[in-house]
Structure 1
Amino acid sequence: MLNLELVFEELKNNGITFFTGVPDSYLDGFCNYVLQHMAERNIIAANEGNAIGIATGHYLASKEIPLVYMQNSGLGNAVNPLVSLVNEEVYGIPMLLLIGWRGQPGTGDWVQHDLQGRITPSLLELMQIPFSILDDDNEKISSVIEDAVTIARKYRKPYALIVPKKTLAGEKVNCQDNSYPLSREEAIEIILDCLPQDTIYSATTGRATRELFFLRERRNESKNCDFLNIGSMGHASSIALSIALEQKDRRVVCLDGDAAAIMHMGALTMVSKIHCPNFLHVLLNNGAHESVGGQPSVGHLIDFSKIAEACGYQTIGKPVFNKDELTAALNALQDADRASFIDIKVHKGLASTLPPLDFSHREAIDNLIEELNSTK
């Protein structure tokens, strides 16, 4: 692992003192260092495209080169502004991209990262973004950063540093806190207890998928009603909404996360033009990017209930904090005349006994498809 103090010293020496992006587990040491030492110069963005826009504004106002950090799976969110805003043939905005390399060939990552890992270098080439792979070598870091910034500034374009596993990582922590009574897992189990057995669930990227999966195992329940959205962060609610439209006689629930909902918040507005009273959007709100290092989101700074109401959801008008309040909210919205929404404030933390999520994706999706179409 690179010496983070040295990395930031070299960034500062090359005029980079402003940071924005979306946290990544391969960059958690870097992201947490920024948070601890340069918080006033760091903006954790809603999504990677948002970060490119923020970085652009910083350069326009200061002429200083910004740094944008992200996981390579977030490149898709950044493609449009990278090619139509900051490209040297358009406005020519220099910036340094720090990209965690999930799915790097030969490293044995999870299947949802494999294709993205294989195409990351070629995707950057297609976008005409020069790049280098960051070595775990403290003696080289000075020249690597200097060369990257020189190219970005000279040619007025982004330059990417692709970061392999462990190069900028930090110590793994459970991020446990006691800010609210309920854990995410406890909230999910309360929902399972309160709703009909044939309810369909779409669980968001991150730890909610693991917890739903292993709750089913512990309770000896079928997993055929569950969609585990292991990738495509921010899209679990769209999947759930569309299922609900086709399965009007069944309850369909999205188990969403605050950072995931924020990433593609425009999806909330879809219920304003779609009548879907069997759709329940549940926000498991821990105010953090927990699965990638625990960096804060704005989940605890904004009023999701008011936002959801403005988008057309029926809510109880406030968040819930404990089992009794959650149970009451589920009962109150049971006969909602439109899509409904519950913001559950939960504390951070994952049960240490939960193993990694390892299952046959094709088998799981085929079982769900069969379940959804068995009553047609």
Structure 2
Amino acid sequence: MIEAAEFVEAARAHGFDWYAGVPCSFLTPFINYVLQDESLHYVSAANEGDAVALIAGVALGAAQGEGKGAVRRRGIAMMQNSGLGNAVSPLTSLTWTFRLPQLLIVTWRGQPGVADEPQHALMGPITPQMLDTMEIPWELFPTQSDAIGPALERATEYMDRTGRPYALVMQKGSVAPYKLKRTGLSGVRAAGERASVARFDGERVSRHDALERVIARTPKESTVVLASTGFCGRELYAIDDRENQLYLVGSMGCVTPMALGLALSRPDLTVVALDGDGAALMRMGAFATLGAYGPSNLLHLLLDNGAHESTGGQATVSRGVDFASIASACGYAIALDGDDIGVIDRLFAADAPEGARFARLSIGTGTPADLPRPKITPEDVRARLQRHIGER
């Protein structure tokens, strides 16, 4: 058994200062320790997949190059092994595809031979196979002080060499208890009067017109644009493939927690998350996380056409959802809604000294004929973006 401080401080020496996750009793000492230290960053995620996407955003902000943004920055996603189910999509189509490394600490509930609750009876035995299937190398979490350094060296060497995650699987009783000495969460905006939703009527525009307006408001030298999977990213690429843009090709719903990780770790950048209604509905818990932690350099623009258009135009239930009121209730500093393209201009021009900004723009369906897929690979678009923000 080790002390929480032994691992956390050794991890800090290796560049790990960002943590995100969902609590498990095995992880309690770590979370309690990190919460006591204002120089460490802990984000309480709505689910484990969001935690993985958020730390991927932190990794994206660890820019390549020699500029002032070129810093070594590492993050840790923590979860109970049952949460691997929630994290499969971002682990297989975000971190693996874009080569965005992170350390995973996965607790081993239901480990064979160790009595546990019935809900862990299947996940316990198959946890190693799940990690193997996702091509995530793993080892047991260190339980002796002299094993911590070598474990972190193996993890960081693999992460740096491959750009992919590495996991430490924590058994019961690996870490001594650490008492929680404070309540609340660091970095969370204080609850106050909720933003009033401002609504604007007008003539509904196409996604193409909306994306052209976004491009006009996002200068390359100071802004990063992360586009949701599907036609949103493909159409943005077709209009203008710029080095300050990244196009998700999977991990539906993960653009917002990823943008949050980037915005928190790189306050020098304005980060724009281009979302879709289907993606937003898939991970609505992210609204609460962005409302609580979102900084003023984060803009969340939801383009709502009421359809899963890239898969054939099947309707979503978004027409019955008031996304702007949800954003307001979750703590966003600004909440706009409408079908007037001027909503985009108001989103960028809004004065929000504290907190993330949100706008939902209702758009029409329809996509240009022969819409191309990006010819630049996900790895290359990520590396290009990191070089770009590292030169600032």
TM value normalised by structure 2: 0.47
Where relative contact order (Cα < 8 A, 6+ residues apart) is larger, the structure is: 2
